[in-house]
């Protein structure tokens, strides 16, 4: 007898994943792929939208044919800052431009001089100036640099909503995507920014639909409900908001380390914006103040250098435990990558490196922590498994309870939980997150 499940596509920049969750939100099937990139018309690398579409549809139909499961619902979470522009035939008419693609300086000057200057604009839209990471700027760029293409656009969808439309044929916008450092949303007035209307960009955007909505569909004559998709950072918050009503910060660690505080509704200051703070939206449409560090990538690069210098493999760091004696001895020493020869061992060098990362992380997290009732911080992702990072974070933030959070695929799980009531009659469990507490000890203080 087949078991009812929900299918979730979790599309990251590097890994593309498909999960099936049962009604208890246990993963009962998973599939992943690393797809080759292509280049856009300027020679810049980007996601190959045709390859991605094919993998998604092939994977779904393959999974849907498995006799052990009965897919009742489907939803989607993807990386943000990525538009898919569709023509009259509802097919992509441009590459899926990479958000790291450079934005023309002349156009940047024109935009911000027209719409009040960088500082005022960043405050209104709750995001630093980030080039094409402000995904709305892609539409502005197309309008002025590729006007023929802009005119051909029937609708522009963020990536989660585009993937949803592959299954439903219907186009919507969701608040977690347009609220994610897009330059589209005025957080002060709670609607699209003035420029969106003045530049007639709003004509290219689909109607906004609640992020926990579903669209009744049929696949091979089989009834199924489809979500409209979510931005991955907002999706990852959902299990925590469901399980922990008391105020907390979620430190989501990966390529970016993002401190998300759903309990901070104070407007962003100029200082916060200048230090890479911004706002997201929860799937319920509430603002989440966040601060970001690009430390995951830095860690990846540094362990390669350490491995080369100390003649170890690149995963050697994962075998190193927390040694408070090293921290005590090196309390007043900072890590310097150009002086690796001065460190007596890999363990010493790596501990110093993590100590410096934690110092920066504390500064970043404090930007969204201050003056809020938060007493706990949950760390998920790669650094949650790093004993040195976790112990040092606990020592550096003694006023907080610091936990490593273990949850199977938080982003995908959040996308599933967002439409729980549309497919699952069982109550949501509040025990789906495993926590490991890291108490503060004496004598090894970081700061």
Asked whether the beta carbons of 170 and 215 are under 8 A apart, the reply is: yes
Asked whether the beta carbons of 195 and 201 are under 8 A apart, the reply is: yes
- Is residue 264 over pLDDT 80? yes
- Phi, psi at residue 79, to the nearest 5°? -65, 155
Q: Which of 228, 244, 267 is the last residue of a domain?
A: 228
CA separation, residue 346 to residues 225, 311, 329, 349 (Å): 52, 9, 15, 5
pLDDT of residue 365: 97
pLDDT in tens, 28-64: 999 999 999 999 999 999 999 999 999 999 999 999 9
The answer on 252 and 124 residing in a single domain is no
Pairing of strands 257-261, 277-281: unpaired
pLDDT of residue 447: 53
The answer on 287 and 338 residing in a single domain is yes
The answer on 76 and 38 residing in a single domain is yes
Q: Which of 228, 252, 281 is the last residue of a domain?
A: 228
pLDDT of residue 181: 92
The answer on 177 and 111 residing in a single domain is yes
The answer on 169 and 253 residing in a single domain is no
The answer on 265 and 198 residing in a single domain is no
Counted domains in the chain: 2
To the nearest whole percent, how much of the chain has pLDDT over 70? 99
Domain of residue 68, residue span: 3-228
- Is residue 93 over pLDDT 70? yes
pLDDT of residue 339: 85
Tell me which of 138-142, 158-162, 265-269, 417-421 is least confident.
265-269
pLDDT of residue 445: 54
Q: How confident is the model at residue 118 (pLDDT cuts 50, 70, 90)?
A: very high
Q: What is the mean pLDDT of residues 81-85?
A: 96
pLDDT in tens, 394-417: 999 999 999 999 887 889 999 999
The rounded mean pLDDT for the chain is 93
Asked whether the beta carbons of 70 and 5 are under 8 A apart, the reply is: yes
In whole angstroms, what is the distance from residue 258 CA to residue 365 CA? 8
Full DSSP string of 48-113: -HHHHHHHHHHHHHHHHT-TTEEEEEEEEEE-SS-EEEE-TTSSB-S-B--TTS---HHHHHHHHH
pLDDT in tens, 188-232: 999 999 999 999 999 999 999 999 999 998 887 889 999 999 999
pLDDT of residue 442: 57
The answer on 442 and 394 residing in a single domain is yes
- Is residue 443 over pLDDT 80? no
pLDDT of residue 364: 96
- Is residue 121 over pLDDT 90? yes
In whole angstroms, what is the distance from residue 222 CA to residue 225 CA? 10
- Kindly report the CATH number assigned to the domain that includes residue 410: 3.30.420.40
pLDDT of residue 33: 96
Q: What is the mean pLDDT of residues 359-368?
A: 96
Q: How confident is the model at residue 446 (pLDDT cuts 50, 70, 90)?
A: low
The answer on 285 and 266 residing in a single domain is yes
In whole angstroms, what is the distance from residue 434 CA to residue 446 CA? 26
DSSP character for 415? H
- Where does residue 432 fall: left (phi above 0), alpha (psi -120 to 50 degrees), or beta otherwise? alpha
The answer on 377 and 317 residing in a single domain is yes
In whole angstroms, what is the distance from residue 283 CA to residue 415 CA? 10
Q: How confident is the model at residue 337 (pLDDT cuts 50, 70, 90)?
A: confident
Q: How confident is the model at residue 440 (pLDDT cuts 50, 70, 90)?
A: confident
Choice between 125 and 428, residue whose per-residue pLDDT is larger: 125
Half-sphere exposure of 125 (CA within 13 A, CB side): 29
The answer on 362 and 343 residing in a single domain is yes
pLDDT of residue 381: 85
- Is residue 254 over pLDDT 90? no
The answer on 404 and 289 residing in a single domain is yes
Q: What is the mean pLDDT of residues 416-432?
A: 92
Q: How many CB atoms lie within 10 A of CB 87?
A: 14
Single pTM value for the model: 0.88
Asked whether the beta carbons of 288 and 262 are under 8 A apart, the reply is: yes
- Is residue 109 over pLDDT 60? yes
The answer on 86 and 11 residing in a single domain is yes
Q: Name 252's bridge partners.
A: 258, 380
> For residue 112, which of 32, 195, 172, 210 has the smallest C-alpha distance?
195
């Amino acid at each position: 007898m087949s078991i009812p499940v929900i299918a979730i596509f979790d599309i990251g920049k590097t890994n593309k994943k498909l999960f099936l969750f049962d009604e208890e939100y246990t993963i009962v099937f998973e599939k992943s792929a690393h797809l080759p990139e292509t280049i856009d018309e300027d020679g810049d690398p980007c996601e190959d939208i045709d390859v991605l579409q094919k993998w998604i549809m092939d994977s779904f139909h393959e999974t849907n044919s498995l006799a052990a499961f009965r897919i009742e619902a489907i939803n989607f979470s993807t990386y943000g800052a990525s538009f898919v522009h569709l023509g009259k035939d509802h097919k992509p008419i441009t590459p899926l431009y990479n958000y790291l693609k450079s934005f023309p300086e002349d156009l940047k000057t024109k935009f911000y001089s027209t719409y009040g200057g960088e500082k005022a604009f960043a405050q209104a839209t709750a995001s630093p100036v980030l080039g094409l990471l402000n995904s709305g700027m892609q539409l502005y760029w197309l309008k002025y640099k590729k006007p023929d293409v802009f005119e051909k656009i029937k609708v522009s969808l963020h990536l989660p909503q585009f993937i949803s439309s592959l299954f439903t044929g219907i186009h919507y916008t969701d608040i977690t995507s347009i609220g994610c450092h897009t330059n589209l949303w005025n957080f002060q007035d709670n609607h699209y920014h003035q420029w969106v209307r003045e530049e007639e960009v709003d004509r290219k955007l689909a109607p906004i639909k609640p992020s926990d909505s579903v669209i009744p569909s049929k696949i091979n004559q089989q009834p199924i409900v489809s979500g409209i998709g979510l931005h991955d950072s907002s999706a990852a918050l959902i299990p925590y908001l469901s399980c922990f009503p008391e105020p907390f910060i979620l430190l989501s660690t990966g390529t970016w380390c993002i401190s998300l505080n759903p309990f901070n509704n104070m407007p962003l200051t100029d200082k916060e914006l200048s230090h890479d703070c911004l706002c997201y939206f929860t799937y319920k449409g509430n603002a989440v103040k966040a601060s970001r560090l690009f430390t995951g990538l830095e860690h990846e690069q540094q362990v390669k250098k350490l491995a080369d210098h100390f003649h170890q493999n690149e995963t050697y760091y994962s075998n190193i435990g927390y040694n408070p004696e090293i921290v005590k001895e090196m309390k007043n020493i900072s890590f310097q990558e150009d002086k690796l020869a001065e460190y007596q061992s890999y363990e010493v060098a790596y501990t110093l490196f993590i100590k410096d990362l934690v110092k920066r992380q504390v500064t970043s997290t404090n930007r969204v922590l201050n003056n809020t009732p938060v007493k706990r911080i949950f760390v998920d992702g790669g650094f949650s498994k790093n004993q040195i990072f976790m112990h040092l974070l606990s020592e550096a933030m003694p006023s907080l309870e610091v936990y490593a959070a273990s949850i199977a695929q938080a982003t995908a799980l959040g996308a599933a939980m967002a439409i729980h009531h549309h497919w699952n009659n069982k109550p949501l469990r509040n025990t789906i997150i495993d926590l490991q507490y890291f108490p503060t000890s004496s004598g090894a203080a970081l700061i």
